[in-house]
Structure 1
């Protein structure tokens, strides 16, 4: 079972007759990271307790869910959620995949206001953030947002990155929501391993975070099967990639083998 969705994952699911389950969750900045993570935990619990019956009913008993074979995956913020879910439920997950994940949440790239070119866009005004949050506070905008199908929040996201406004979303005392700090505190990924892919020219989530994850795991969990594939390209570089490309085959082989074993 896969817990995410993308063209590559759709192809992987078709190839291995897997079920893809995607969570809905409250998004930043209207909600806190704790609220977001509570939604992910509620989703995990729903998968464990309700999904098999739901699928059985929807397919007249034709499809059965195998909860012993779960691999998590996600892109960008979803990559962070895939990694943190792997740490939170290492015994219930076979292996973990993440594409250009947010790893180093304390990075100055996300927490300090300075000039950053994100996807070639100009520096967004700080007032964009202030006005958005004021509208949320007085009810002119929803206080709960869980999707953005038209990409209408893209400039707001860029503004948060450029202005370092995510610093308030990852308070220093919340080590349990920080991947690198969780590893320092002896949390461990599923023994089936971790596969991370990242574009070396990423201006939304710099590749340095994935290299830091690699360094931490070499030091703190050297026996873990960890594979990092860094390729040319920006955020979302894998949009036209196919499963049979050598770099993907090499990266996926161990994670997929552990998942299906």
Structure 2
């Protein structure tokens, strides 16, 4: 007789509640709130809980808040150690949507959360709006930073960008380059352009806020190879998308940031993080950055625990502000 062992969910120590935070043209946008089922020994007032807002990645094209493989284990352990609530919204996805549409969703989420937080209770815990941090994986790193810069009323104490395209003007992201992505080569450029064009034509006028990474990764790889992502994201001009430009012009000041990137990343070049840091340091006096450049591919930290040396150092940096 054989036995089947089911893999334990990364969220096994949390309870989840789901809410609609916005409805756009009949399409509901959902957010989940995870609360620890047991409380850790900390000095926190257990009537209120610090908040970790997490924006999922996927190139702004695929994924959703519930796609577990991309959630870093260490981030969940950090939340547990602080008896924190985790709040993770979905948002509309490219290429059906534009970056400006996504910015609208980020804004709508924060309006919903800040207005509803006083009445939100999960396992007896209420959000402490004085202790909010934002984290984002890949594309979500951009949305975590956007949250802090564009919604100052959210009072985001710190941002974690995990291999995000923080500077989307780097050549590695904008120039078409046939190359392996996550170990596989996308179709040749002409074929890749046809795949992109056919998908855009087929889905024009539709709305989507989830996408299977396994089923749609071919489209993502084509868009990345052809350098199309920045153009798709910015096809409807909007000043909210100019995060780095707004910092350089002195309109906003970045919050404390822990920036993580794998030096072997074939999806989002590490130059996106490195150039962001360089350009901000050129115009902002003493920005509070903690930069972790490590060996590894995209999503290299997904299975790492909080006690991993460099992760522990980054968590200590965060806790200084959270």
- With the length of structure 2 as denominator, give the TM-score of the two structures: 0.73
Deviation of 1:113 (Å): 2.3
CA distance in 2, matches of 1:76, 1:115: 21
- Deviating more after overlay: 170-179 vs 231-240: 170-179
2:253 alignment counterpart = 188
2:108 alignment counterpart = 42
1:22 is paired with a residue whose SS is strand
Asked whether 1:98 is paired with 2:165, we answer: no
| The structure with more helix, counted as a fraction of residues | 1
| The structure with more strand, counted as a fraction of residues | 2
Deviation of 1:171 (Å): 4.8
Asked whether 1:82 is paired with 2:144, we answer: yes
- Deviating more after overlay: 11-20 vs 151-160: 151-160
CA distance in 1, matches of 2:281, 2:169: 20
CA deviation string 1:150-200 (max 9, x = no partner): 53221111111111222242259544313321211211122xx11011100
1:179 alignment counterpart = 243
CA deviation string 1:42-94 (max 9, x = no partner): 001111011331x32x54xx222211110000100011111121222346111
Asked if the contact 2:72–2:301 (Cα under 8 Å) also holds between the matched residues in 1, the reply is no
CA distance in 1, matches of 2:238, 2:174: 15
Asked whether 1:122 is paired with 2:189, we answer: no
1:41 is paired with a residue whose SS is helix
Asked whether 1:69 is paired with 2:131, we answer: yes
Asked whether 1:164 is paired with 2:164, we answer: no
2:320 alignment counterpart = 257
Taking a change above 3 Å as real, the CA distance of residues 39 and 216 of structure 1, as seen in their structure-2 partners, is: same
2:201 alignment counterpart = 134
- With the length of structure 1 as denominator, give the TM-score of the two structures: 0.89
For these two proteins, the number of residue pairs brought into alignment is 249
Asked if the contact 1:90–1:189 (Cα under 8 Å) also holds between the matched residues in 2, the reply is no
CA deviation string 1:77-126 (max 9, x = no partner): 01111112122234611111110011122233333323132112223321
2:84 alignment counterpart = 18
CA deviation string 1:11-65 (max 9, x = no partner): 1111100000011110111101111110011001111011331x32x54xx2222
Q: CA RMSD in A?
A: 1.9
2:173 alignment counterpart = 110
Matches within 5 A, 1:215-226: 215-226=278-289
CA distance in 1, matches of 2:130, 2:147: 15
Asked whether 1:148 is paired with 2:215, we answer: no
1:26 is paired with a residue whose SS is coil
CA distance in 1, matches of 2:236, 2:245: 10
Q: Where in structure 1 are there 5+ consecutive unaligned residues?
A: none
Q: Where in structure 2 are there 5+ consecutive unaligned residues?
A: 1-50, 55-70
